[in-house]
Structure 1
Amino acid sequence: MQRIYLFLLLMCLQLSLPAQQQPLRIGVIGLTHTHVHWILGRADRGDIKIVGIVEPNRELAERYAKQHGYSMNILFSSMDEMIAVTRPEAVTAFGTIYEHLKVVETAAPKGIHVMVEKPLAVSMEHAQKMEVLAKKYNIHLLTNYETTWYPSNKKVNELLQNGTVGSLRKVVVRDGHRGPKRIGINKEFLDWLTDPVQNGGGALMDFGCYGANLVTWLQHGKRPTSVTAVTHQLQEENNPDVDDEATIILNYDTAQAIIQASWNWPIGRKDMEVYGLTGALYADNRTAVRWRKAEGYDGYKEEAYQLKENEKPFDDPFALFAAVIRKKVVLKPYDLSSLENNMLVVEILQAASESAKTGRTVKLN
């Protein structure tokens, strides 16, 4: 009772301020996805406030509380309890990908906005149910990718849309690392990341989604005409139930995209190459971009950029989430975080999984 009284008292004090001046009240759903350190360890920018955390694994919650300094008084064992007590305006999902649907089913009818970690859903069946709920209850449903906040990707897109390299012909996106077990992720994350139900697959889902998201953005939401994929299991001892190597080919009317998703790279990477009729663009890492202008048969002139971080709120997922909810930012159609983009991402991933299983190209309507 005392905890409920304190929460209600704080809410009354906050309600005396205009909503636009208040930090966004956020509930964190789940702690098993280690991307949760992003929000738990985030510097206080005054734009969001974590009012509740839902995590049934108390030992995990206590471990992270010691690391990040949050009070165990904001820990709840269920979403319903947390929502009833803290009344969040939005929630962020840091559990399994399979659980994303349940988060939206619980939050949307209450008008609570949702941000999930990539990918949006484990299947089109889940994604379509989530989309229906988001539209019915008029909530924002965003998907967070690390690469959304890379200044390099933003710069490449700007150069492409400005016609710097001519009409788009090919995109190559490479993402991954040595594999979940080899890089030493904690048990709570490993238990579901290598589970075909809870994660929806292996490297194809975990890292293939990055490429599908970026290509959909570069292509302004254009749907591929076909999807072809090949997967392998090169670490059977570490990933016995899922793929750990995937190559996905997306065919468009006038371009092609190749997505290389791997848990076998010797060095972690998130990079992209974009080829047009007159040149090429390389996003080598978070801040480095190269532009090569073709000259002659195999010559080129190269210009390099070393970029600064994006301006607020486009430098951080939770800052953008708050800005969208507060109507300070309106997402463009097929923006990297948008529902439209990520519905197509799930469609691509599902087609890729089907292609890999059947050995056939999957045509999209």
Structure 2
Amino acid sequence: MDAAPLAARVTRIATLVAGLPALPPDDGSRYSPRRLTVSWLLEAESVHTEIAHARDLGAFLDWCNRERLDPLTARPTDLAQFKVWRGAGTGGTPAAASTVARALASISSWYTHLVANTDGGVTRNPVAAVKRPPVNRHTSTTAGLTLDEVDALLAAADAQAGARAAAAGRTPTGQARYLAALRDRALLRLLADLGLRISEALDRDLGDLSNNAGHRTLRFVGKGGVHRERPLTPHSLQALDEYLAARAAAAGTTADRLSGPIFATTGAGGDGRLAEPNIFMTLRRLARIAGIASADRLSPHSLRHAFATGAREAGIALEDVQDAMGHADPRTTRRYDRDRHNLDRDPAFVLGARRASRRSGNQR
């Protein structure tokens, strides 16, 4: 990461940690709990993980504050009580087992970091003795999309860009709305065509666009810090090139001279990094326009699921889909394949057809 973005990230995380309750004030030492919390968040493998860690730790420290509990001396029984409280959810809606398990994993990671770095200041990880709620690793609760629904969603993004084109040159607001439509169209195509995680797309800078073996490619850091490179499809490239050309024209330059994030905000300066919540709202709004019944439950991850299912429906080998999605374990890839329970894919049909063929041959 370049020095400027890293400095901005450190400042952002430090500000967040300074506002967390239940921890002692920063005493200025290198290994104070607050400074170690900053370093822990900086070590997150992605911005998405960092945000999840910060949210889970914040919820835990809020709970400690209400319980008048010092988190640095908490015992396993305290964490067991937090688990029950977190599972109860808010507004009378219980939290999913996966949500509670993720929260405990985040807090456990934080305690492990403190134990390793406080030289006896924190002596144990109380989460280690707490039983985690069972989570079904073979299914996913992400709302799915059929391939027809993906096509309808992308068509709605196309229509939005077309509708805003006429007003693009009339006012600064019209220009910003048109650029946003082109950007959203390019991003949704990229997510649908490559099955990327949303963080893998939003964290990319223009310098991550490259060429390799006759393909224009996107380089990125996947889960686990693995450096990867994927080819861009003509479908995605068309939308991406149109967006970057329009963005460059608005900035009075050329596309090859642009810098900053690939998917930028359209406000003052027009070069801020697009935030993940914006994509949720855009995706659901376009899905409603497209008439998709599950619109209000969709997330960018729904397009990743659709990518896996579509690839398997097309007969692409599981290991190739696994490689494309960056999964270390093929069982993870199978979770994304919503068509795997399709009865038409049951091996019994193939074996039965072969048995019939053998019997027919023996009778001749």
> Which structure's residues are more often strand, by fraction?
1
If the length of structure 2 is used for normalisation, what is the TM-score? 0.27
> Which structure's residues are more often helix, by fraction?
2
Query: Which has the greater radius of gyration?
Result: 2
If the length of structure 1 is used for normalisation, what is the TM-score? 0.27
